[in-house]
């Protein structure tokens, strides 16, 4: 199954060491933990939310590599945390990190969760029928994988890429 991840073009598509900056599902020293979106829009939305980019003019300076990552057997476990926690601001991170830490201790390789950044129904994509048309409403998901993952293969889908401006209206920004 293909998932998407954006990164600074200077770096590989995955972390290899535990010294990555803390985020929703891991704290200092918990890594590596990898966050992969089921759509490129979801991956871009995570970037826009994190960087608090709301102005189309700010997109001109963005240059990221978007990777298409092949995950042969994604974890089937889904997060059991409430919607408000998995999509909330940094005040919800303690609860998210505790949940992820418990799963790692239980030997889980990861889990999937509704994406925090892309609003519900906005992972719809596009279809062609009498021109380009929005696809069916779809809610995006994020795959959270624990530990080094030398088993994963990826291809750069875009280098020096930037998110499309239509996403600025679809992002669930921090409250």
CA pair distance 139, 105, nearest whole angstrom: 29
What does the pLDDT look like over 73-91, one tens digit per residue? 999 999 999 999 999 999 9
Total-model pTM: 0.94
Confidence of residue 162 (pLDDT cuts 50, 70, 90): very high
From residue 160, give the alpha-carbon distance in Å to each of 49, 50, 66, 100, 110.
19, 18, 8, 32, 29
CB 100 within 8 A of CB 25: yes
> Average pLDDT of 108-136?
97
Residue 169 has pLDDT above 80, yes or no: yes
Nearest by Cα to 66 from 99, 97, 98, 44: 44
What's the pLDDT at 10?
Answer: 95
Residue 88 has what pLDDT?
Answer: 95
What is the pLDDT at residue 175?
77
pLDDT value at position 167? 96
Determine the Cα–Cα distance for residues 53 and 36; give it in Å rounded to an integer.
20
State the chain's mean pLDDT as an integer. 96
Q: What is the pLDDT of residues 1-53, one digit of tens each?
A: 999 999 999 999 999 998 899 999 999 999 899 999 999 999 999 999 999 99
């Amino acid at each position: 199954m293909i998932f998407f991840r954006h990164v600074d073009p200077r770096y590989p598509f995955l972390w290899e060491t535990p010294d990555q900056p803390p985020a929703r599902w891991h704290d200092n020293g918990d890594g590596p933990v990898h966050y992969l979106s089921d759509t490129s829009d979801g991956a871009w939305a995570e970037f826009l939310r994190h960087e608090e980019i709301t102005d189309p003019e700010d997109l001109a300076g963005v240059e990221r590599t978007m990777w298409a990552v092949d995950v042969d057997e994604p974890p089937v476990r889904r997060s059991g945390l409430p919607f408000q926690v998995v999509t909330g601001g940094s005040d919800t991170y303690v609860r998210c990190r505790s949940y992820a830490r418990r799963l790692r201790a239980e030997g889980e390789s990861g889990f999937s969760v509704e994406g925090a950044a892309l609003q519900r129904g906005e992972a719809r994509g596009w279809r062609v029928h009498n021109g380009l048309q929005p696809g069916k409403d779809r809610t995006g998901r994020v795959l959270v994988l624990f530990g080094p993952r030398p088993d994963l293969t990826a291809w750069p889908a875009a280098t020096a890429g930037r998110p499309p401006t239509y996403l600025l209206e679809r992002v669930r920004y921090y409250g």
